Structures are given as C-alpha cells and as structure tokens.
A and B are shown apart, each in its own frame.
Chain A
Amino acid sequence: QKEVEQDPGPLSVPEGAIVSLNCTYSNSAFQYFMWYRQYSRKGPELLMYTYSSGNKEDGRFTAQVDKSSKYISLFIRDSQPSDSATYLCAMSVGNYGQNFVFGPGTRLSVLP
C-alpha cells in the first residue's frame, strides 16, 4: 500500500461545478496536509495547507482533513477553466520540507 493515494483522474467538469479532490493516507503520524496546484510544464504551487484536523477556507477553495478516516479533501467552488491543472496532495509528520510525501496528483479539466 502506498503511503499516500490519490485518484489520478482525469476529472472533467463543466465550468461552475463544485469539484471534490481527495487523498487517503496510511501514516497516522501525519500532521501537516497540503494541496498544490501544478499547471502543465510548471512547478507545484502551494494552494492551501492545514495542520491537524479540521477545515480551512480560502476564497473558492476549502480543505478538509479527517484524521480518523485518514482522508483529506479539497473542494473548489464555482470552478473556472483556469482551475484546469493537476492537483497534488502532500503530507508530513513535521513541518520540514524534506519529509513531505506527495500523492501522484489528480488531473482536472474544467470545460467552458
């Protein structure tokens, strides 16, 4: 079993839809949970991160962490074509860059 699992997609949705992206993990020691957006041929860009459990909202984006189920989600409201990208989840035991474990990413296409 991989430490972090993520459905690779591709996921296609119409513009304006609510998108739900998810990751599951096996290491109960993870405390930091991140979502990155990666456009084609670009580097990952941090979207949001949460520490421990709970929800965090930033504009159209909401991140949720359910540590009891070892499951994290990213919701995108009112999706736009500019949201078309690969979304990577990542997690870590401590807040140290070398300990980040990344999922393979979900490719999202938002169709106009």
Chain B
Amino acid sequence: NAGVMQNPRHLVRRRGQEARLRCSPMKGHSHVYWYRQLPEEGLKFMVYLQKENIIDESGMPKERFSAEFPKEGPSILRIQQVVRGDSAAYFCASSPQPQGVETQYFGPGTRLLVL
C-alpha cells in the first residue's frame, strides 16, 4: 500500500507565476489536509478537504491560495502570483476518517522556492 504521495518534490517559481502542488492520498483515504512549514516554524494547518468538498479552510490565506480535491485524481493546492514569502515546504496528510491522530499519514512534502 503506497503511502501519501506528493509531487513535485521540489518546485521553483519566479514571482508572479502560479504553483500547483499535488497530493495523492493513501488508498482508501478520502480526507486530505494541507499544511505549510516555514523555516524554523511548526507546521501550520491550511485546509481540510474531503472528496469534492472543502470542509475547513480557516488556515488558508484569503487571497491567491485555493485547494480542491476532485472526485477523481489528486488533491491540488494552487498558489497564484507567488511571492517570495510563499517559499516553504507544503505537506499534505490523509486519513480514512476525520478523526484519529493515529490514522493521519503525512506525505514527503513539496518544497517551493520562489525566486
């Protein structure tokens, strides 16, 4: 059973470009969480999605950021018009149910660098 997969693992963008980060949850998992990790800071929750639904986006910046988890395919975190401050590691986690510390598994992350 493959783990949570994220791609690309590294992404370089120039200011003003768009970044698309993809997350494929573990098989059987229909709940996806996105986190951002800035240097020397802890993971910060961004958004929680189930298939075709955004459940909680309280951690998402109000502008430029959006997320989706379509019926088919991976979850996508999209950052429009990137700025240098968006440089960070973005992790997704998946779980088979909304509750359960023990059932949430993290992917390896996508490291975004904005030049």
Residues of A within 8 A of B (CB): 4, 6, 8, 32, 34, 41-46, 49, 88, 90, 92, 94-105
Name the CB-closest residue of B to A36.
B106
The one of A4, A8, A43, A49 that contacts B109, using a Cβ cutoff of 8 Å = A43
Residues of chain A within 8 A (CB-CB) of B43 are 44, 88, 90, 100, 102
The one of A42, A49, A92, A103 that contacts B102, using a Cβ cutoff of 8 Å = A49
- B44-102 residues at the A interface, CB under 8 angstroms: 44-45, 48, 55-56, 58-59, 91, 93, 95, 98-102
The one of A4, A43, A49, A96 that contacts B106, using a Cβ cutoff of 8 Å = A43
Residues of chain A within 8 A (CB-CB) of B108 are 41-43
The one of B35, B106, B109 that contacts A45, using a Cβ cutoff of 8 Å = B106
Apart from A41-B111, A43-B109, A97-B45, 18 more pairs, CB < 8 Å: A6-B42, A34-B101, A43-B91, A43-B107, A43-B108, A46-B101, A46-B102, A88-B42, A92-B101, A94-B99, A95-B100, A97-B31, A97-B98, A98-B45, A98-B56, A102-B35, A102-B42, A104-B40
C-alpha spacing A90/B108, complex, angstroms: 18
B48 touching A98 by the CB < 8 A rule? yes
B14 to chain A, nearest CB (A): 23
Residues of chain A within 8 A (CB-CB) of B56 are 98
A103 touching B42 by the CB < 8 A rule? yes
Residues of chain B within 8 A (CB-CB) of A99 are 45
C-alpha spacing A100/B59, complex, angstroms: 11
C-alpha spacing A98/B91, complex, angstroms: 13
Residues of chain A within 8 A (CB-CB) of B102 are 46, 49
Write out, one digit per residue, whether chain B residues 3-26 have a CB within 8 A of any chain A CB (1) or not (0). 010000000000000000000000
C-alpha spacing A58/B55, complex, angstroms: 34
B28 to chain A, nearest CB (A): 16
A87 to chain B, nearest CB (A): 11
